[in-house]
Structure formats: structure tokens, C-alpha cells
Amino acid sequence: MADEPQQRPPRWHRRRNREGRPATSEGQAAQIRPEEQQTATHNSQTPHPTPGKSAQPGILSTRRRRPKPKKDAQLPTTPKQEMPALKAKEGSPAAMLGYQMQNSTMETTLRAGGTWVSEEEGNASTAPTTRTTQASLAMASGQVCGYDVILVPWRLVTNYPTLYVQEEDRDQLKAYFTTNLHKEREWDFYFTLQPGSAGKDSILFVPLSQFESFLDVVATELGPISTISALRKDRLWDNAAAPPDWPRPRFLARVKNAQGLKPATQRIQQYPLDNYDEWSMEAYKAFKAKMEVLLNAGKKDSRGHNFGTMRMERLEKQRGYGRVTKRVQRYLGLRDSSAHAHNPDSLSTAWHPDMVAPFQPKHNVRFVCLDVEAFEFNTNLVTEFGFAVLDTEDIIGVAPGENGKNWIAAMKGYHFRITEYTHLKNKRFVKGCPERFNFGPSSFVSLRDMASVTSRVLGDSNAPETCPVVLVGHDILGDLKYLLKVNFNIWNVPHVIDEVDTQVMFRRVQRSNNGRSLVAACDSVDIETKDLHNAGNDAHYTLAAMVAMAVKQSATAPQDSKPWQMVEEAEWTDGELDDGGMGQRSSQPAEKENVAADISGQKPHKPQKKYSPW
């Protein structure tokens, strides 16, 4: 016969109160079985002390279970401790959100609880920054924000420690922002498109109340922080104060982590550009000036009042983008030299791509495009060199065709693989394909012979009839620096007269100061790309994009411009009477890389930095 299962002691036997007495009654004591009573007597001889109490003989010191709360019972809550006011004390992060009122001597300071304190009156009032943003929970992506929302540029939020914190506290706050800016915190992102940008460049915002809440947490955990200056009101977007005809920012998404921001911003491209056709020139200039202030609010120089200087520097840079395209057109025979300024009839206003170039190509140059591929885990190891060459003497009398397709067909391509590094192939960050050069055979060259090969491609500078060379690249300076690693100094080649960066040309096409990829540039002129990250293929597509952008812009007929378009055009070009000026060369890097160190793969040790995921 099987043994009967041992019965579990009743609940009253296991439960004890805090003083160690068994929670029993007279009726319950009679139910104790003999073996349980014997165990209790044995344990009473070795008392177990209760914390804070002295043990008593004959008592089992078993911890009492905490009773479960009822469903409808209200658990006691600890009242929230009110944070101390950060009034006028220099260094509080939350106080940095106080508006520095313009045209007024009265300054206001924000308490940690969201109230404003006047330095003159000392009266607390409700801050406009306490306007609720709960409506964003029900907002759809693309919906315009309400009039009761104040927004702060996201770039200002991420760069706040650098912009507004004293040097002695800056590193500590930077580390805190890097770790905690999105830790257990959600941000409601809004966006507005920059006026005039065909590339749909945007400015990201978050509600000021959310940033205010985050800085309150910073003040609680880190204590007072020494600040430099107060946050100015004109660095924020206040819908209630903005003119009613200005386009309001649109809701983008509620982002829960840093990884969720990138896919959210990619959706901005699906929204249409704002329409300024009915605006006057003065109204558009005022709106554009406000957007420029918000765009630069997160930059280091934005603390002061030197936006005028920053604007002049930006305009000069943008007009420089246009000069690059004009010089390319001049080299290709699509634009005359500066002599046409005195002869307006020489302008090629009626030209189209099925006609030959209207002017003689300037200098009969050779365009030489360079692209370099390096190993992704050690960029000192150069694995491929690619060249694409277009001799302007080969296209004289040839119509370029749509987007320059006939001129692109006259290009020649070269692809060289470094013998010492043929076993290295990029796979993780980019998908390399060194074996798939689509415009000719690949050649294998040793590292020490690559300098002489490059010299032959560029042409012998000692020859009596050496053609002038114009170097081409997409973000060209990075590729030119790699030539130093094979002991070839491109800055010592005398017949190189100019450098053309297709990334700069594409900025002019898009009217955008942000760099774009080679794929984006090719897509804009209907060039199909294949097997990218092969140095030879990339060089071919880069030179083809240069030709196509120059031809397409020359073939664009002038149209009647709206007032806002006239403002934009004036900011991006010196006018049609300008030919782009003289060729421009970059400066040689201050330090030359050690080729011996490159071959061995040794890199100097650098301390690891912790970068923000934003």
C-alpha cells in the first residue's frame, strides 16, 4: 500500500506576526498534529531572534506573509517632494529655459515647477511653456501642431551642454545627455521644411515642455550646473506669436528610442513642399530669416547675435556651389568666358541637348575622376583605385544628347586592385564588389607601383603638349588624401588646374547645404547605378553625374519666377553674367601619412569616445 502524501501544514500554522507569536486561536491549537507539536518544542530550544526584538523561548520566528491588497483598495502614495525654486541662481539647467526678453530690462527665471518669477515684482505666474502636449497622442503624422505649443529645435537640445553650460560642468552634462537623453523618455517630434530647398531639408522640433521636464530631472540628479547665458526667445517656435499665414510645423512621430528617429525622418520626403507663390518678397524674406535662426540655433556661434555674419558666410558658400557648375559648363563649351558679359547675345538661352556645344571648350581640358576604396576595419589599407577620364577634344562637334548621354559614352574607365590587399573585402558596413568592374578589365598593381600608375593616368607633366587636368570626385578631398598613402602628392602636379566636387554641384541643384550621396545625384539625372563601392564603377558614375548635371542645367529654359524664387536664386548664384571664375585647388593636408605604417596596418592608439546615439 502506497504511503499517503504528507499533508501541508495549515496556513495559520505558517503565519506569524512581527513579534514572533504564532497566529493561533484556542480552537486552532487543538488541530496541531503531534509531530508538529514536537517540532515546535524542538525549535523553541534554539530561539531565532527577530530583527529589533529579543527572542522568546518556545516561539517559531517565521516571517509573516504580507497580505495581498484588495482590488479596489487604494495603496498609500508618498506625496511628491516639491523641487526647490531655481530663481536667479546661476547654474540651474531648468533656469536656462527662462526667456531673455528682447527690448526689455526685466529678466524672468523659470522655476523647476514650471512657474515664472519676475526679478522686479517677485510674483510667480504660469509659464507659457507649461502648455500641454497631450494632444500629440492623438495626432497623425503630418498634422499641423496647435497654436498652444512652443517648440525647441532638436539640434539645440542635443547640443545644449556645449552651447549653454560652463566648461567646468560641460563634460559631466555631455555624458549625462549621451546616456539619458532618451532613457525611459519619449519625445514628440515635429518638423518644418526649410523654405526654398528642393531636397526637402527639414528642421526637427520637440515641445519645450518636454525639454523643460528633462532639465528638471538633470537638476535633481546632478545638482546646480553653471550656465553661460539664458535661452533666447527667438531661438524657439511659438505658434501663438507667429504670423497666422506662416506654415506651422507638422507632427512627425512619438519616438521612444534613438533608433526610431531615423525611420521617422525618412517619412518627411513624402510630404509636399509649402506653397509660397502668393507671398510677397518681404514676407518670404521674414519667414526665411526666422527659419535660418532656428536652423542655426544648435550651432556654437548661435549664443551671440552674429547671425548676420553667419548668413553672409552661408550666402558666399552657396554662390560658390554655383560657380563650380559654371566652370564645368565653360570647360565643356556650354558657357562662354567672362567676355560674354559685354555681349548678351552670346548667351545660350535657346540651346538644347540635341545641338552641339555653342562655345569652344575652355583650355581643352581632360576630366580625371578618382575614387578610392579602403578596408572598412582599417582605412589605412587602400584596396582599390578607380579612374574615369573624359577628354574634351573627343567631344568637339558631338551633341551631348539628353543628360549628356553621348558625352558619357566617350568616357574611359580604369580599375586597379592593390595586390597586397586582394584578400580584403568590405562586407559589414558596405557591400564591396572589387571583382565586378563594369567598364573594362581590372588590373592588379602592387602598392609601391601605384604612384607611377596614377602619374600615367594624369599625364606626364614634363611633356611639351600636356593637357590641363580637372580633377573630379564626390567629396573629392577624402579621395585625394588617399593618394598620399601610395607616395603620390597630387598637390605637386602642376598641370592640375581645378577640382570639381559633384557633391557640391548637387547641392546647387537641390539648393541644399546638406551633402547627398552619389546615388541621389545620379537619380536626379536619370543615371542608373549598378555594383557601387567598386572604385572603378563609382568613378564612372561620378564623372557621368557631373556631365549630366552641367548639361541639364544649361538646357533648362528661363521661366517667369515668383517673388520667393527670385529670393532663392539670388542666394545661390552670382547671375548669368558670371562664368565661375578661376579654377580652385584644395590645400594639402598638414601632415602626411606614413606609408610604412599603412602597409603594416598599424594605427596610433586613440582613446575611445562615447558618442550620443542621436
Q: Tell whether the model's pLDDT for residue 286 goes beyond 80.
A: yes
Tell me phi and psi for residue 581, to 5 degrees.
80, -165
User: Pick from 578, 126, 104: which is nearest to 322 by CA?
Assistant: 578
User: Pick from 259, 277, 353: which is nearest to 565 by CA?
Assistant: 277
The neighbour count for residue 319, using CB atoms within 10 Å, is 17
Write down the residue that cell numbers 526584538 correspond to: 53
Distance in angstroms (rounded) separating the CA atoms of residues 190 and 253: 7
Distance in angstroms (rounded) separating the CA atoms of residues 603 and 374: 14
With beta carbons less than 8 A apart as the criterion, state whether 92 and 227 touch: yes
Q: Who's near 443: CB < 8 A, 6+ residues apart?
A: 414, 415, 416, 417
Q: Tell whether the model's pLDDT for residue 173 goes beyond 80.
A: yes
Pairing of strands 378-391, 187-193: unpaired
Per-residue pLDDT at 182: 80
Q: Taken in order 161, 166, 171, 176, is the CA torsion positive or negative? A: negative
Residue 413 pairs with which residues in a beta bridge? 388
The whole-model pTM stands at 0.58
Per-residue pLDDT at 446: 94
With beta carbons less than 8 A apart as the criterion, state whether 459 and 497 touch: no
With beta carbons less than 8 A apart as the criterion, state whether 497 and 469 touch: yes
119 dihedral zone (left: phi>0; alpha: psi -120 to 50; beta): alpha
Looking at beta carbons, which pairs linking 421-425 to residues 24 or more positions away fall under 8 Å? 421/375, 421/381, 421/382, 421/383, 421/447, 422/383, 424/375, 424/381, 424/383, 425/383
User: Pick from 508, 517, 498: which is nearest to 550 by CA?
Assistant: 508
* H helices, E strands: number in the chain: 18, 14
Position 137 confidence tier, pLDDT thresholds 50, 70, 90: low
SS3 content of the chain, % helix, strand, coil (to 5): 40, 15, 50
Distance in angstroms (rounded) separating the CA atoms of residues 293 and 306: 11
In angstroms, the Cα distances linking 8 to 2, 35, 182, 309, 489 are: 18, 13, 50, 84, 88
Position 273 confidence tier, pLDDT thresholds 50, 70, 90: confident
| Among 433-447, 458-472, 508-522, 560-574, the range of highest mean pLDDT | 433-447
Q: Which H or E element spans position 526?
A: none
Distance in angstroms (rounded) separating the CA atoms of residues 90 and 224: 8
In angstroms, the Cα distances linking 75 to 69, 71, 72, 81, 158 are: 8, 10, 9, 18, 39
Distance in angstroms (rounded) separating the CA atoms of residues 102 and 100: 6
Per-residue pLDDT at 430: 87
Q: Is residue 54 helix, strand or coil? A: coil
pLDDT in tens, 231-243: 778 889 998 888 8
With beta carbons less than 8 A apart as the criterion, state whether 529 and 541 touch: yes
Distance in angstroms (rounded) separating the CA atoms of residues 573 and 570: 6
Mean pLDDT for all residues in the chain: 74
Per-residue pLDDT at 372: 95
Lowest mean pLDDT among 21-25, 144-148, 473-477: 21-25
Q: Which H or E element spans position 247?
A: none
Position 10 confidence tier, pLDDT thresholds 50, 70, 90: low
Q: Where are the domains of the chain?
A: 10-64, 94-300, 317-345+363-577
Please report, as a single letter, which amino acid is at residue 602: Q
The mean pLDDT of 82-105, rounded to a whole number, is: 39
Per-residue pLDDT at 284: 86
Q: Who's near 472: CB < 8 A, 6+ residues apart?
A: 367, 368, 369, 370, 388, 499, 500, 501, 502, 542, 543, 546
User: Pick from 470, 450, 325, 457: which is nearest to 392 by CA?
Assistant: 470
Lowest mean pLDDT among 56-70, 119-133, 373-387: 119-133
Lowest mean pLDDT among 37-51, 191-205, 366-380, 401-415: 37-51
pLDDT in tens, 559-571: 656 777 677 766 6
Cα 443 vs. chain centroid, distance in angstroms? 38
Query: Does domain 317-345+363-577 fall into CATH 3.40.50.720?
Result: no
Per-residue pLDDT at 53: 43
The neighbour count for residue 8, using CB atoms within 10 Å, is 8
Distance in angstroms (rounded) separating the CA atoms of residues 422 and 383: 7
Joined together, the cell numbers standing for residue 390 give 573624359
Per-residue pLDDT at 136: 53
Per-residue pLDDT at 469: 95
In a 10 Å sphere around its CB, with 0-12 CB exposed, 13-18 middle and 19+ buried, how is residue 518 labelled?
buried
Write down the residue that cell numbers 539619458 correspond to: 180
Q: Tell whether the model's pLDDT for residue 152 goes beyond 70.
A: yes
Joined together, the cell numbers standing for residue 533 give 563601392
Distance in angstroms (rounded) separating the CA atoms of residues 508 and 319: 8
Distance in angstroms (rounded) separating the CA atoms of residues 192 and 287: 12
Distance in angstroms (rounded) separating the CA atoms of residues 274 and 252: 16
120 dihedral zone (left: phi>0; alpha: psi -120 to 50; beta): alpha
Q: What percent of the chain has pLDDT over 70?
A: 66
